[in-house]
């Protein structure tokens, strides 16, 4: 992987357009990054609308999340650095926000995993070749303490080398992949499956 800042910025801007079009980047929510060839990270700055990103809204931080230029990185930068550390093959990370995720993780307020089973779209996840499978996505309680959340994520994901996503309750989800396209597919698929889950729950409640 020989990603330059230029190509990473282009990919991040493209991902912002893609997720915004799908309604997965409301207001200034979400943050996106790519690992660069020198081990540093290109990441969105704090507060930018992800559907309207320009190159100036993307900056470099080092592998521990320290800014390498005079800008303020996303408040959740630490989670990106934890994921790049745990998943050496990952080169792109996307964080989306959606109504189904917020509603469902609140509804299942004590669950530490969200289980998805029997869906064709699960084949989007790396290594999965059939719908006849159960995928368990870790769910963490929301907090503004990124150090603490980073530790929890590290502890749960260290035994899950094949994972490509986790959720934060009442907040959003993180998806990652070897390329930006892979990360976007994980996020899109998971968000569609959560929409299916929510619609199903509504029908059952009638
Ligand atoms: Zn967030």
160-176 pLDDT, tens per residue? Answer: 998 999 999 999 999 99
- pTM of this prediction? 0.95
To the nearest whole percent, how much of the chain has pLDDT over 70? 99
Give the residue-averaged pLDDT of 10-17: 96
To the nearest whole percent, how much of the chain has pLDDT over 90? 89
What DSSP string describes 67-120? BSSSS-B-TTHHHHHHHHHH-TT--EEEEE--HHHHHHHHHTTT-SEEEEES-G
| CATH fold label, 5-204 | L-fuculose-1-phosphate Aldolase (3.40.225)
Å from CA of 105 to ligand 1 middle: 14
Å from CA of 45 to ligand 1 middle: 13
Å from CA of 7 to ligand 1 middle: 24
67-94 pLDDT, tens per residue? Answer: 999 999 988 999 999 999 999 999 999 9
DSSP one-letter code for 30? -
33-66 pLDDT, tens per residue? Answer: 999 999 999 999 998 899 999 999 999 999 999 9
Å from CA of 107 to ligand 1 middle: 19
What rounded mean pLDDT belongs to the chain? 94
Å from CA of 200 to ligand 1 middle: 26
pLDDT at 141 over 80: yes
């Amino acid at each position: 992987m020989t990603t330059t800042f230029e190509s990473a910025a282009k990919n991040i801007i493209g991902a912002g357009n893609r997720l915004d079009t799908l309604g997965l980047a409301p207001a200034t929510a979400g943050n996106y990054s790519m690992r660069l060839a020198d081990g540093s990270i290109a990441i969105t700055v704090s507060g930018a609308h992800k559907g309207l990103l320009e190159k100036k809204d993307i900056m470099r931080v080092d592998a521990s999340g320290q800014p390498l230029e005079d800008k303020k990185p996303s408040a959740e930068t630490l989670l990106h650095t934890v994921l790049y550390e745990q998943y050496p093959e990952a080169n792109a990370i996307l964080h989306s926000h959606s109504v189904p995720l917020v509603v469902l993780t609140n509804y299942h307020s004590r669950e530490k995993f969200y289980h998805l089973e029997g869906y064709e779209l699960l084949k989007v996840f790396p290594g999965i070749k059939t719908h006849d499978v159960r995928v368990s996505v870790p769910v963490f309680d929301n907090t503004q303490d990124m150090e603490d959340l980073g530790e929890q994520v590290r502890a749960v994901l260290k035994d899950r080398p094949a994972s490509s996503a986790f959720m934060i309750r009442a907040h959003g989800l993180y998806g990652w992949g070897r390329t930006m396209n892979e990360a976007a597919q994980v996020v899109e698929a998971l968000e569609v499956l959560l929409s299916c889950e929510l619609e199903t729950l509504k029908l059952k409640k009638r």
